[in-house]
A and B are shown apart, each in its own frame.
Chain A
Amino acid sequence: MSAAPLHSRTPPPDVFRPRLALRRRLGAAFAAFCLLLTLGALGVLFVLLAQVLLAGWPWVSRKFIANMPSVLTPEQAGMKSAIYGTLWLAVLTGLFSVPVGLGAAIYLEEYAGRSRLARFIQFNIANLAGVPSIVYGMLGLAVFVRWLRCDRSVLSGALTMSLLVLPVIIIASREALAAVPSSIRQAAFALGATRWQTVRHHVLPAALPGMMTGIILALSRGIGETAPLILIGALSYVPFVPGGPLSDYPLTSTGLRQWLSTALFDQFTVMPIQIYDWVARPQPEFHHLAAAGIIVLLGVLLGMNATAVAIRAWQQRRRT
């Protein structure tokens, strides 16, 4: 079939029926549909917060934070042991995971290049980040609680949680390190610095705010985790804090060492587990306690995330 001759074209009737009005209306309907779903998704947050605040705010008080949990008298119950447990856990987890995580990130980003080993480790870390947290609990149960005989202690919990947050810390720290422009490294090398000197004096300081943000976010994730700690035996009814009150011990170095060694191997609970215990009970007072506990937990997480955001904002301002 040959095309119409190019030089004698007769005017064609309008061969298109664009139906623009219909298409525009469909477009508007689609946009409205997407908007509806978006508002629904975002609105859930407000519904959730409203529910929690309405149910729990009247129960949040100084007494609530200072008291131990009580099964028989829910009005007197508090979260003291859970708060202390979370604090102990967070500090210990940070102590274990941050150095190892930073070291791994520095190795992968600054030393390893693109060797087979480096790519394998990277693939490995990406997979570990996707493993359900409960599997880490099983790991902790078998290795730390049973094999190393640390039993159901804060130490076991911290070691388990360190393994859990390690991939997150490594990934975030690597991003922070990668964001440091290579010109800084080149300049340091050109002046005769060794690799470690370059990293320690030039790269790390530049990457530090990003790393801190990543660490804070990783730890805040760890604080919200429950399942691995249940597996390693953190109990849900713990009316004491790890190590007991510091005032029970003499204020000497041996006294402190005693306190530390008792505390590390003491049983414990954390805020999410306490909340879980309260939610699982049928009486409505415990649901109010749970809501109050959620308010405290969310408050802590909000504080940590706000700090991370502030650091990031400060870093961006410093850059521009």
Chain B
Amino acid sequence: MTGAADTSPGLRRSGFAPMFELRAPAATLPPREPIICTEALTIQYGHFAAVKNVSLAIPPCQVTAIIGPSGCGKSTLLRAMNRMNDFVRNMQVTGRILYRGLDVYGPGCDPVELRRRVGMVFQKPNPFPKSVFKNVAWAPVINGYRGKVAELVEQSLRRAALWDEVKDKLHDSALDLSGGQQQRLCIARAIALQPDVLLMDEPCSALDPIATARIEDLIDQLKSEYTVVLVTHNMQQAARVSDRTAFMYLGELIEVNDTNAIFTRPGNPRTQDYITGRFG
């Protein structure tokens, strides 16, 4: 289906022909080529369909926001992209999710390797009960980072706009940090693995407005290097931060467009209702 696609030995399971070559940076992908793309995706828990027939393309090096009222399936959709809802029992997935053209739920995709390239930041900051340094260094070390770990930690903390605040406290417990700092630590931790895509599941909902503003600035900076998919129930945040916005309602994708277009000239009346606050 696509031309430029990449794989490394880890992403494919043994026995399957390679579909990609060595990782090409997202910035060099053809501009209209989505880095993640869902095709007629339906996700069911038992009899309840959380996501119904969603086809969404995530363009590279941009921030795509998914908005919608609570329970509309946006978190489920997000977690499907890096197979984090593998851990939920009784879940069926029909349709496809393609990461750089590779079917994420297909037999050729190793979820552990996938998660190295598609990272996630969660709603409530969840740093490990270890030091700040070890939090950031843990995943790269496990994944065999070839360079100097201390440099990587510093680089990631700088990119997450946290270095100045923790550079003297690197070996103190991460749990001593404030909520906003912990969330930026989680972002630094995710960035340290140098992922392609960063999935963010309502990252600011547990934070105060000042911490929220800092993280929104950070997201703005991140998008030059990483593709960000942001789930948020805060419409203003989506309007501020994202380039494209998708609106979901009751599991269905109602509308997706450039953020400007969605918020000024929504095509679907339900989008209009949601944005103007008729329901929420």
Contacts and interface: CB of A to CB of B under 8 A. Distances in A.
Contacts of B194: 12, 15-16
A19 B144 contact: yes
B143 A11 contact: no
B221 A18 contact: no
B14 A16 contact: no
Looking at A9, A16, A19, the one whose CB has the most chain B CB atoms below 10 A away is A16
A16 B145 contact: yes
A16 B116 contact: yes
Contact of A15 (B27, B110, B145, B221): B145
Contacts of B8: 14
B224 interface: yes
Interface residues on B, range: 20 to 34
A18 B10 contact: yes
Nearest to B225: A9
Given A1-B154, A21-B14, A16 B140 contact: yes
A6 interface: yes
Interface stretch (B18-26, B77-85, B126-134): B18-26
Contacts of B10: 18, 20
A319 to B, nearest CB: 23
Contact of B143 (A6, A16, A24): A16
Interface string B91-131: 00000000000000000001011001000000000000000
B25 A11 contact: yes
| Contact residues of A: prevailing secondary structure | loop
Contacts of B145: 15-17
Interface string B143-179: 1111100010011001100000000000000000000
Contacts of B144: 16-19
A294 B273 CA distance: 75
Contacts of A15: 145-147, 194
Contacts of A12: 194
Contacts of A19: 144
B113 A14 contact: no
A18 B111 CA distance: 13
Contacts of A2: 158
Interface in B54-105: none
B264 interface: no
Interface in A1-33: 1-4, 6-7, 9, 11-12, 14-21, 23-24
A1 B159 CA distance: 12
B72 to A, nearest CB: 31
Contacts of A4: 155
20 contacts: A2-B158, A3-B155, A3-B158, A3-B159, A6-B224, A6-B225, A7-B224, A9-B25, A9-B224, A11-B23, A15-B145, A15-B146, A16-B116, A16-B143, A16-B145, A17-B144, A17-B146, A18-B144, A20-B112, A24-B112
Closest 8 CB pairs of A and B: A17-B144, A11-B25, A3-B158, A16-B143, A18-B143, A20-B10, A6-B224, A18-B10
